[in-house]
């Protein structure tokens, strides 16, 4: 008897148990030696009063098995504070979210016959989805978009490694580096830095809004797309719609230690328990899991069986209409019955083991040889006009080490006046530059400046203006020289 690989199985909420049961039955019928550890997470756990939605026993199971196949988890309104899905992804640093999007036989869409077959590789733990947000004034919100060089190196290398494992020839990097030169720009720069290590793969950069346009216009041109967290969230849902919807969209959350496989879709509560939903997304997530675990033959057998089933016209209600679709359990039986058959028209990729990138674990991943502080941005809440605020700040701070260079409103310079018709609110960024000998800004100088500003104004945030190895570590505003 081969040793069985333990896998944590989370049935989840809504349609989750039906989808997960379909995947489990098919994987077992394909003869994969897995040992399931059934674990709980989601709505019922929230109802018991656990705010994370993930009990300790489930975390213990995943820590032990390091692999989970999960159904969708509801985030109930009124219970708990966090999404149990996000908790799981973040808890195990599953930094790569892989979402393959492939045309399916028998599933007619406006794109049928175009051969869509792409993989979205979305960074899964950084970016705006870190959820670090502040109300800086009663009417102005701020969200921090944190992007690290190390995080970008992990996801960029992962995308190339994933392409290599599937024998793909091109990787596109989709960013908004033209506008967000430091944050989105980091992914572009790192992508271009690591690309030469994968000489057989053609790298290209595409601005993310054009990526959305190209995905709708000519999706077949893409093989692998690597992108930041929020861009990836939007582009991958868009891509799923091109091939027939969420019922066919699998995903994997992969980290160095743990991998969690799940459909892109949610718990679709209105269909729960009705035996009508399409379990293919969870079954295909299981296929991704089998390849991750090295069961390549069985993964291919299941993929072929799905293709043969769809080709034979056995389709669920999301494709045919819920009054005409094959019930979930019969659809599952049909796939099991087709195990061992090969699709005559649809190919299954020859997949090689995925090599996870080895990244230096040093916390100070990028080391600067020289660094200098050249000024301070002070964010001020004020009902004054920019001209009034500028005059007041200059008067208050004229004998400090820093001088007011400019004030901006939502990124546009409003003082000294530029003639632009910018409508300011009560939120201003006031940029102070060290007058002489920049390089160091002791706390006494910062404290003196803030104390002077506080005599008349309310500040809520400061940011040091730094240079690393002679490169500016901050952006200039629209209109600033």
Residues binding ligand NAP (CB under 6 A): 15, 19, 72-75, 85, 246-247, 262, 265-268, 277-278, 281, 318
Distance in Å, CB of 271 to ligand NAP, minimum: 7
23 vs 407 by CB, closer to ligand NAP: 23
281 vs 314 by CB, closer to ligand NAP: 281
Crossing angle (nearest 10°) for helices 149-165 and 183-194:
50
> d(Cα 247, Cα 60) in Å, to the nearest integer?
30
Distance in Å, CB of 27 to ligand NAP, minimum: 17
Distance in Å, CB of 330 to ligand NAP, minimum: 15
What the block records as the tokens of 121 is 């590789």
What's the angle, vertex CA 62, arms to CA 257 and CA 98, rounded to 5? 55
What is the separation, in whole angstroms, between the first and last Cα of the chain?
A: 72
53 vs 185 by CB, closer to ligand NAP: 53
Distance in Å, CB of 183 to ligand NAP, minimum: 25
> d(Cα 399, Cα 449) in Å, to the nearest integer?
10
> d(Cα 432, Cα 376) in Å, to the nearest integer?
5
Backbone angles phi, psi at 266, to 5 degrees: -95, -160
Asked if 124 contacts 96 with a C-beta cutoff of 8 angstroms, the reply is: yes
Asked if 254 contacts 356 with a C-beta cutoff of 8 angstroms, the reply is: yes
Distance in Å, CB of 110 to ligand NAP, minimum: 17
**For residue 427, what are the CA distances in angstroms to 7, 348, 378, 407?**
51, 56, 11, 10
196 vs 321 by CB, closer to ligand NAP: 321
Position with the least CB separation from ligand NAP: 266
Strand partners, 68: 8, 260
> d(Cα 423, Cα 419) in Å, to the nearest integer?
12
247 vs 255 by CB, closer to ligand NAP: 247
Strand partners, 226: 121, 173
Distance in Å, CB of 242 to ligand NAP, minimum: 15
175 vs 267 by CB, closer to ligand NAP: 267
Distance in Å, CB of 276 to ligand NAP, minimum: 8
119 vs 315 by CB, closer to ligand NAP: 315
């Amino acid at each position: 008897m081969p040793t069985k690989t333990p896998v944590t199985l989370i049935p989840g909420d809504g349609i989750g148990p039906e989808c997960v049961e379909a995947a489990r039955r098919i994987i077992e019928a394909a003869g994969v030696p897995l040992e399931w550890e059934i674990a709980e997470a989601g709505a019922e756990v929230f109802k018991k009063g656990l705010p994370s939605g993930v009990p300790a026993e489930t975390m213990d199971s995943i820590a032990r098995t390091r692999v989970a196949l999960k159904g969708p988890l509801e985030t109930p309104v009124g219970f708990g504070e966090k999404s149990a899905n996000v908790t799981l992804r973040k808890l195990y640093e599953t930094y790569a979210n892989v979402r393959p999007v492939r045309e399916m036989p028998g599933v007619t869409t406006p794109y049928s016959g175009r051969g869509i077959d792409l993989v979205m590789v979305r960074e899964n733990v950084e970016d705006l989805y870190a959820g670090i947000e502040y109300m800086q004034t009663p009417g102005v919100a701020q969200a921090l978009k944190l992007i690290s060089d190390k995080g970008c190196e992990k996801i960029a290398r992962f995308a190339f490694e994933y392409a290599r494992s599937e024998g793909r020839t091109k990787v596109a990097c989709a960013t908004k580096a033209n506008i967000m030169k430091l944050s989105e720009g980091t992914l572009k720069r790192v992508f271009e830095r690591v690309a030469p290590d994968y000489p057989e793969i053609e790298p290209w950069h595409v601005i993310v809004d054009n990526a959305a346009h190209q995905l709708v216009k000519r999706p077949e041109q893409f093989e692998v797309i690597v992108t930041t967290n929020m861009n990836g969230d939007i582009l991958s849902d868009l891509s799923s719609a091109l091939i027939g919807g969420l019922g066919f969209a699998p995903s994997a959350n992969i980290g160095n230690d743990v991998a969690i496989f799940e459909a892109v879709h949610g718990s679709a509560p209105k269909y729960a328990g009705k035996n009508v939903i399409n379990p293919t997304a969870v079954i295909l997530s299981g296929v991704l899991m089998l390849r991750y675990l090295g069961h390549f033959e069985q993964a291919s057998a299941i993929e072929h069986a799905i293709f043969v089933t769809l080709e034979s016209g056995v389709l669920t209600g999301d494709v045919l209409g819920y009054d005409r679709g094959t019930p979930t359990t019969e659809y599952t039986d049909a796939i099991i019955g087709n195990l061992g058959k090969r699709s005559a028209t649809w190919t299954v990729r020859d997949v090689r083991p995925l090599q996870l990138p080895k990244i230096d674990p040093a916390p100070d991943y990028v080391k600067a040889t020289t660094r200098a502080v050249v000024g301070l941005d002070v964010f001020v809440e004020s009902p004054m006009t920019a001209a009034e605020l500028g005059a007041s700040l200059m008067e208050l701070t004229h004998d400090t080490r820093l001088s007011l260079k400019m004030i901006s409103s939502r990124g546009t310079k409003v003082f000294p006046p530029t003639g632009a018709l910018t409508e300011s609110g009560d939120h201003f960024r006031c940029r102070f530059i060290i007058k002489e000998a920049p390089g160091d800004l002791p706390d006494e100088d910062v404290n003196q400046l803030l104390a002077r500003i506080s005599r008349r104004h309310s500040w809520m945030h400061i940011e040091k203006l730094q240079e690393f190895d002679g490169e500016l570590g901050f952006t200039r505003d629209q209109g600033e020289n």
